Copies of this chain bind each other. A is one copy, B any other.
Amino acid sequence: MKHKILFEPFNIEVEVPVGSNLLRSAIEQGIHINASCGGEGVCGKCRVIIENGRVEGGLSSLLSDEDVEKGYRLACLSEVTEDITVRIPTESSLDAKSLNKVTKRFTAKIREFDLNELKDHGLFIPPIEKKYLELPEPSITDNLSDVSRLVSYLKLTHGEDKIQLSYPVIQKIPDVIREDNFKITATMERPLNENNKSRIVNIEPGDTTDKNYALAIDVGTTTVYGQLVDLTTGNIVAEKGDFNSQISYGEDVINRIVFAEKGDGLEVLQKAIVKTLNGILKYIIKKGKVEADWISTITIAGNTTMTQLLMKINPRFIRRSPYVPAATIYPPLRAMDIGFELPEHVTALLYPQISSYVGGDIVAGVMGSGMYRTDEVTLFLDIGTNAEIVIGNKDWMACAACSAGPAFEGGGVKMGMRATEGAIEDFSIDPITFEPMNITVGNIRPKGICGSGLITIVAKMFENGVIDSAGKFKQEVQTNRIRIDSDNICEYVIAWEKDSSIDRDIVINEIDIENLIRAKGAVYSGCVTLIEEVGLTIENIERVILAGGFGSYIDLEKAMTIGLIPETDPEKVTFIGNGSLMGAKMSSLTNRIRKDVANVTKMMTSFELSETPSYMDHYMASLFLPHTDIEKFPKLKERLEL
């Protein structure tokens, strides 16, 4: 159910879901309301007048009885429950003439995994299928071996004519086949290549065809996710995320590799990730109300370092020039051989790697996003400490990786933090008073700034002339919020200590901005270099896919404003979230994809940006907001000129 809000004096009308927060509804329309405390109702700045209709809440001791009588409410505490007209008083708002510059918040469309599409394309063929058989009992005139009986009737009744068996199945067949009087369910593992044999990896007495589950696992450097997929329906029946226990041995892949190189470090790290994985496994098995025996397969996607650590393969050469990974493609193997607390019959499939810095998580994202099946020239971006870039379509693909540094994850930023509770994730600034409007995760008083918040802050400051294209505060801007700190660095106070939930002012300084510019410059120049190397230009990009946690709440217009991503129609951009997990899940649901994965891995050309001469030129040119050459951002240029 939706309600209308009419924002005055701007005459902007918007429909929002019932229960929407009024302050967030405003910022999403690009409407500035001074608000320092992140939405906790502490600073009392976000006063608005409800002219028609009523809101739920919005009252505060910071409002006098007289104000309340006049219709004043605090926007951050108001919930929209009916159609309303809201007036932003001059004190809280930007000058109406600035409105031309207003850009609505635009987050990318979220593309979810579409099971029905898979079904429609006839691709819902899990890599593991169960077949139920009622075998004739042996007699003296029909005393085939138990295995031959199973194999010949699979052919006769299910048309399965290419079959081999695993050793454990042969070991238990005499007893299992007789347990329910020659009624038996065979678990068939499909081959990569249809001409090869299916392998019977498990047999159970009776009909257990409805008990067939798969696990999809994303092994991230920081977090690990698992999903339990019902292979009969295609639905997720349980899921769970957790921190990678390896974190205590190093924050990023380089520190993990350094640790792995010492003594029994590799073994310690392998055990740590296996511990995390088994914890997730235990949880989702319980939560999904399944038995471990019903699980048939596990698909794992992770970056190259995570994959080698999980497989207990020395990662030493990943971080040393010429950056050689051990392998790109891994054979299927027994999950228990990796250390999973799963039955012997469970096969583990690993997503292949492209290079030392474009790993299985990216290949999985390419698969999960459907990029590998489209004609459209697509730019796939996974932005984090490292940014991986893929460009191409179903016929060709190229990829590269670059180091963006930790700025996007809140690192190397004075008040940076991850996008957890209290992180400023959205921001606006009054172009006259330069007062801020802060929105935090969880609507509590701010603790710091997360990656998407940082981008928005820098974009808004740039758009509103607070900083110049070099990221320096403009001298003409008059506000007590801009000051020089004890280290002689210029900074802007986003939230005074009293409005924050920490013991000091929350600021952003020129070094923070410089770090962000370097980070965005690395990503942008990576994209541009790769696009150039494949002989295209930005205009040729028909689709952009953002993967990874970072992209979820990012304001696309702002990302383009700072020059993080090439300027393009925001409608072309989709966000897929955890592409790695999405790809792993897709592999659980369709065996066809395995061949496609192999093809994608083969056809993907990997570029070493450090070996591409134009990369450094592009990078240097990117160290401005949005870029040395504003012509590359025509829409922004137009907006700024207004």
Contact = CB atoms under 8 A, between A and B. Distances in A.
Contacts of A329: 147
Contacts of A9: none
B322 A148 contact: no
| Chain A interface bracket (under 10, 10 to 19, 20 to 34, 35 or more) | 35 or more
A312 B167 CA distance: 10
Closest 9 interchain pairs by CB? A147-B327, A143-B322, A140-B322, A145-B325, A174-B314, A170-B327, A145-B328, A174-B326, A167-B333
Given A143-B324, A322-B139, A170 B311 contact: yes
A10 interface: no
A252 interface: no
A326 B167 contact: no
Contact of A165 (B142, B166, B327, B355): B327
Contact of A164 (B331, B337, B356): B331
A88 interface: no
Interface of A: 138-149, 164-167, 170-171, 173-175, 178, 196, 311-314, 316-317, 321-331, 333, 337, 353, 355-356, 608, 610-611
A327 B145 contact: yes
Contacts of A148: 327-328
A535 to B, nearest CB: 20
9 contacts: A143-B323, A145-B326, A147-B329, A148-B327, A165-B327, A166-B331, A170-B331, A171-B313, A173-B313
A196 B145 CA distance: 26
A283 B608 CA distance: 54
Nearest to A144: B324
Contacts of A143: 322-324, 355-356, 608
Contacts of A311: 167, 170-171
Contacts of A331: 164-167, 170
A138 B322 contact: yes
A166 B178 CA distance: 35
Contacts of A139: 322
A148 B356 CA distance: 13
A611 B166 contact: no
A166 to B, nearest CB: 7
Nearest to A330: B170
A146 B611 contact: no
Contact of A313 (B142, B174, B337): B174
Contact of A170 (B164, B167, B175, B326): B326
A167 B610 contact: no
A327 B142 CA distance: 14
Contacts of A330: 167, 170
Contacts of A147: 326-329
Contacts of A322: 138-140, 142-143
Contacts of A321: 140
B610 A140 contact: yes
A147 B321 CA distance: 17
A426 to B, nearest CB: 41
Given A313-B170, A317-B174, A140 B611 contact: yes
Contacts of A314: 174-175
Contacts of A141: 608, 611
A87 B382 CA distance: 103
Contact of A324 (B138, B166, B167, B611): B138
A167 B337 contact: yes
Given A138-B322, A311-B170, A146 B608 contact: no
A329 B141 CA distance: 20
Nearest to A137: B322
Nearest to A355: B143
Contacts of A333: 167
Contacts of A144: 324
Contacts of A356: 143
Contacts of A325: 145-146
A145 B175 contact: no
Nearest to A315: B174
A200 B377 CA distance: 38
Contacts of A145: 324-328, 353, 355
A311 B196 CA distance: 26
A488 B631 CA distance: 122
Contacts of A316: 174
A170 B139 CA distance: 47
A327 B164 contact: no
